[in-house]
């Protein structure tokens, strides 16, 4: 979040009897607010109509309870969009191209996936020419991470991608460990997708299950290669992808057709499209036809109804895992598990705190997400 001030008020940052910066920083630290000066050469705030360009601005980062606020003090220069230096790769572009037919949702999707602004995404979606690259939004091949410093882009072999670091042509035979350079000479290291990368880069259709909860599900149920898993409440598909990558065969249900379509694409990105079947519909409609699973994982409001059928859905010794953000639904699931005679019923609330280490000392972070949800586990005897 940016706060912009045209001019610092007299005395605010020294002089005129006001509080000096050192005193202010001390007071902020006493209130648990960390302040750091940022040596910024230029700050640009882009609005729909213009860019506000700050040069030689005073920039401070304030962090409290996990929230970061950037304060910019200075006088900006107003610049119309597109008034900057021309891109040498765009000099031959046809200014008369009509991009009104490009769907706004496609622009937003590409911008989020590529980590670029919407204008760059719109350019990438224009018909392919020598100066107008496209970016694939379907994942037919395995995808890799292309990493440069703090930048990460998820790309597939043969893809052409452009950013402010240059045009990146992904070789068809690219492999993890390769270094691929843009036309400007910026090198990107190729990295294979790992579990934590799925949480960061898969397309989201809601709040996905956190890695710490995924780990607990896998650890408590023992889901592994060769297991058959029935999952309900696919959502983004983080849990389903993790289970598929562990070698399990997963059948997962998602009621929302749009969410299900995104989940299928996510399974392709994760490389588990052959082992994770995403079905569109309500699992309760098919309960009579489902049986013999090694594990049952639920993240739905009607989870208690499904738990009532656990003895027929699960093989003997099979595991149940129910995730719910609310204790009321959790109580109903526990009651259903007891009613049908499941063993080893337990409910856990996972709370995780990150540690902060700085010059003043070490302590648990005051920010971050504490409670995420309740996880109930049980087994069929």
What the chain holds in terms of domains, given with CATH numbers, is: 2-80 (2.20.70.30), 104-192 (3.10.330.20), 198-379 (3.40.50.150)
At 27 the pLDDT is 53
Do 350 and 358 contact (CB within 8 A), yes or no?
A: no
- In order along its 381 residues, the chain shows pLDDT tens digits of 444 343 434 433 333 444 445 455 555 555 556 677 787 778 888 777 777 887 777 777 776 555 667 777 777 888 776 544 444 444 444 444 445 556 665 666 555 544 556 776 566 555 433 333 333 334 444 789 999 999 999 998 999 999 999 999 999 999 999 999 999 999 999 999 898 898 888 999 888 898 999 999 999 999 999 999 999 999 999 999 999 999 999 999 999 999 999 999 999 999 999 999 999 999 999 999 999 999 999 999 999 999 999 999 999 999 999 999 899 999 999 999 999 999 999 999 988 888 999 999 998 887 766 778 899 999 999
The residues pairing with 361 across neighbouring beta strands, listed in sequence order, are 358
Length reported for the chain: 381
Do 373 and 318 contact (CB within 8 A), yes or no?
A: no
The residues pairing with 349 across neighbouring beta strands, listed in sequence order, are 374
Question: Torsions phi, psi of 230, nearest 5?
Answer: -105, 120
Provide the H-helix boundaries in 72-229. Answer: 104-114, 118-124, 195-201, 211-221
Of 242, 256, 257, the residue nearest 194 (C-alpha) = 242
At 171 the pLDDT is 94
Do 375 and 216 contact (CB within 8 A), yes or no?
A: yes
Q: What is the pTM of this model?
A: 0.61
Question: Torsions phi, psi of 83, nearest 5?
Answer: -85, -5
Q: Distance (Å, rounded) from C-alpha 188 to C-alpha 177?
A: 10
At 123 the pLDDT is 61
């Amino acid at each position: 979040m940016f706060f912009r001030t045209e001019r610092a008020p007299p005395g605010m940052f020294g002089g005129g009897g006001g509080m000096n910066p050192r005193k202010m920083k001390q007071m902020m630290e006493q209130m648990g607010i960390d302040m750091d000066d940022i040596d910024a050469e230029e700050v640009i705030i882009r609005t729909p109509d213009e860019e506000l360009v700050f040069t030689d601005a005073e920039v401070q980062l304030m962090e409290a309870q996990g929230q970061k606020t950037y304060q910019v003090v200075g006088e900006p220069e107003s610049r119309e969009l597109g008034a900057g230096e021309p891109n040498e790769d765009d000099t031959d572009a046809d200014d008369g191209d009509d991009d009104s037919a490009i769907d706004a949702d496609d622009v937003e999707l590409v911008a989020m996936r590529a980590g670029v602004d919407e204008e760059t995404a719109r350019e990438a979606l224009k018909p392919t020419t020598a100066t107008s690259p496209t970016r694939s939004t379907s994942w037919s091949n395995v995808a890799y991470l292309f990493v440069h410093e703090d930048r990460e882009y998820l790309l597939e072999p043969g893809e052409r991608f452009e950013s402010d670091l240059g045009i990146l042509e992904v070789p068809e035979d690219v492999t993890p460990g390769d270094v691929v350079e843009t036309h400007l000479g910026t090198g990107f290291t190729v990295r294979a997708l790992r579990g934590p990368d799925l949480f960061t880069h898969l397309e989201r259709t809601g709040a996905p299950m956190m890695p710490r909860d995924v780990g607990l599900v896998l650890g408590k149920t023992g889901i592994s290669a060769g297991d058959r898993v029935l999952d309900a409440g696919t959502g983004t598909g983080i849990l389903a992808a993790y289970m598929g990558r562990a070698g399990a065969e997963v059948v997962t249900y998602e009621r929302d057709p749009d969410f299900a379509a995104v989940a299928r694409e996510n399974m392709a990105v994760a490389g588990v499209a052959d082992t994770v079947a995403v079905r569109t519909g309500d699992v309760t409609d098919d309960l009579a036809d489902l049986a013999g699973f090694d594990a049952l994982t639920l993240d739905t409001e009607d989870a208690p109804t499904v738990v009532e059928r656990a003895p027929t859905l699960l093989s003997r010794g099979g595991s149940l895992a129910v995730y719910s953000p609310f204790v009321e639904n959790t109580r109903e699931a526990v009651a259903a598990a007891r009613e049908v005679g499941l063993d080893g019923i337990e409910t856990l609330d996972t709370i995780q705190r990150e540690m902060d280490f700085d010059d003043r000392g070490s302590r648990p972070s005051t920010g971050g997400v504490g409670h995420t949800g309740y996880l109930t586990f049980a087994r069929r005897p």
